[in-house]
A and B are shown apart, each in its own frame.
Chain A
Amino acid sequence: MANAALTHADAPAARSREPLLQSKGFLGLLFMLPGAAFLLIFLTYPLGLGVWLGFTDTRIGRAGVFVGLENYQLLWEDSLFWLSVFNTILYTVVASVLKFGLGLWLALLLNEHIPFKAFVRAVVLLPWVVPTVLSAIAFWWIYDSQFSIISWALINLGLIETPINFLGDTTNARITVILTNVWRGIPFVAITLLAGLQTISPSLHEAATLDGATSWQRFRYITLPMLSPLIAVVMTFSVLFTFTDFQLIYVLTRGGPLNATHLMATLSFQRAIPGGQLGEGAAIAVAMVPFLLAAILFSYFGLQRRRWQQGGTD
């Protein structure tokens, strides 16, 4: 491949000082070509196409015409859309906070000296490795309204009288999907934060102990500041994936009951694919972008501030 390019490009290259195949620009272009072409065709172009579709009334099987902001106007007056925005924010905020707290706790536990350390660490990551849809199907059965194993256990313990209606009641359904998302997200947060914890030198903790620091103070003034750049990155990813979550909701509730668990992603899918309104679905997807950008910028600037707090330069 490279040789063929050489013979063709020989004549003009001879005039310039360095041969074309050693020119960084050309070589770089050549090597970047497959990946860049792929990403331009299947990532950048669809992003633009999505924005354009949001301004049209395209349906499945019928090319649309430009309708300006009509889709967005419809969404603005659509209470279901606003409900999905509320649900998405609630879902993202609560799940991310829980994932962070529990994930950090698990990371600290795994960083201790425990028997079978390697095995426990490996096993803890399983919820993240198994396909979400398949583990969600297992949860679907665990949350069955009649034959839930959780209800059975609680009834046998004498804590409740009747089975819990996990996915049939609006409040219960919200709590249930959030907890299931947390279940799946904890391992990612814990294992990545654990990698950060392992780089913190134990001598810092020893020095602090000699100076009379309590374990809370050691956590607050050593572990947390040293970990915070990593925390910012991990949480950006976590927020991003939680905000755009689709699979879990689609399996467990499909947005029900009474649309109480409809997220923007599931609403967008429902309007666009089963509903056929590609334009409107695309508009909902585009409406997610500002929120995503806000989340990314928030964590990014959070990261900057921490660096300054650590005593680095501004």
Chain B
Amino acid sequence: MTSTARPADQTMADESVGMSYLDRLPRRLVTIYLPLAIFVFVLLFPFYWMTITALKPNNELTNFREFNPLWPEHPTLQHIRYLLFETSYPGWLVNTMVVAVGSTVLSLAASVLGAYAIERIRFNGSRWIGLLIFLAYLVPPSILFIPLAVMIFNFGIYDTKLALIFTYPTFLIPFCTWLLMGYFRSIPFELEECALVDGASRWQILMKIMLPLSVPGLISAGIFAFTLSWNEFIYALTFIQSSENKTVPVGVLTELVRGDVYEWGALMAGALLGSLPVVLLYSFFVDYYVSSMTGAVKE
């Protein structure tokens, strides 16, 4: 692999036409565009359906005979208005935001220090600590939530946002540390040596040299951590009891479904509005997002 790959290949591969000019259009239509169109349709249809259901008035929702189900004939904002003014939904949005920001900041701070220690201070056993951090990332929340629930209860922070802010870093710190380790590795050692010679302390090096240089890495880790905490479900379901402390995913599922009456319009509006913040964040930072996802998997 290394003997054949030239340095320019990585950029070249992305832009070059490769050998696709050998294929004729009809052939490409069947082998590439058609399957791709089906993939995109299937992957995106649920979001389309979510959106138009949120905009349909109630009588159109279940009447497929008189109305075209694929388009809202009389679009309405009644579900969104109901959601925002007659339920605790705005509160859930605020809770989710507070919890996601809090746990992300906490995890980033701990991860920057940890990643710097493992990657640059290179104390005895740092390789092993790095491996342990990676293994910690593989511990799934579904085997931790029961003992964590017991602990949360004993600490007296059951049913508070603090319970979530403290437990989310269990999966955020390993992930962010692992990502930042990779990023720090790419910053030249010489910069640090210069600073050391000039008498800078490790803390100054980290704050004034490493962090400014690793802003893209910090953005990647930050938005990814934010998304992971926004999407978290099982901890929020287990550790939060009262309606005013719930997060969006838990609130929508447990409070908007009352008995057997499903208010589909409101449910879909809730799902739509709850997805919007992460989707917006994602659309602004697609490249960072993809690099953090692939960065976590590589190596």
Contacts and interface: CB of A to CB of B under 8 A. Distances in A.
Contact of B19 (A49, A135, A187, A209): A209
A112 B20 contact: yes
A53 B150 contact: yes
Interface in A27-51: 27-36, 38-39, 42-43, 45-47, 49-50
Nearest to A188: B293
Contacts of A139: 46
A32 B114 contact: yes
Given A192-B293, A244-B140, A285-B142, A43 B117 contact: no
Contacts of A106: 36, 39
Contacts, number: 302
Nearest to B36: A109
Interface in B128-156: 129, 133, 136, 138-151
Interface stretch (A7-15, A71-79, A119-127, A170-178): A119-127
B194 interface: no
B275 A226 contact: no
Interface of B: 1, 4-6, 9-10, 12-14, 16-20, 28, 32-33, 35-36, 39-40, 42-44, 46-47, 49-50, 53, 61-62, 64, 69-70, 106, 109-111, 113-114, 116-118, 121-124, 126, 129, 133, 136, 138-151, 166-167, 169-170, 173-174, 177, 201-203, 227, 230-231, 233-234, 237-238, 248-250, 252-253, 264, 267-268, 270-272, 274-275, 278-279, 282-283, 286, 289-290, 293-294, 297-298
B146 A272 contact: yes
A31 B116 contact: yes
Interface in A141-186: 141-142, 146-147, 149, 152, 183, 186
A312 to B, nearest CB: 9
Given A141-B268, A296-B138, A124 B39 contact: yes
Contact of B231 (A1, A131, A230): A131
Contact of B113 (A34, A123, A244): A34
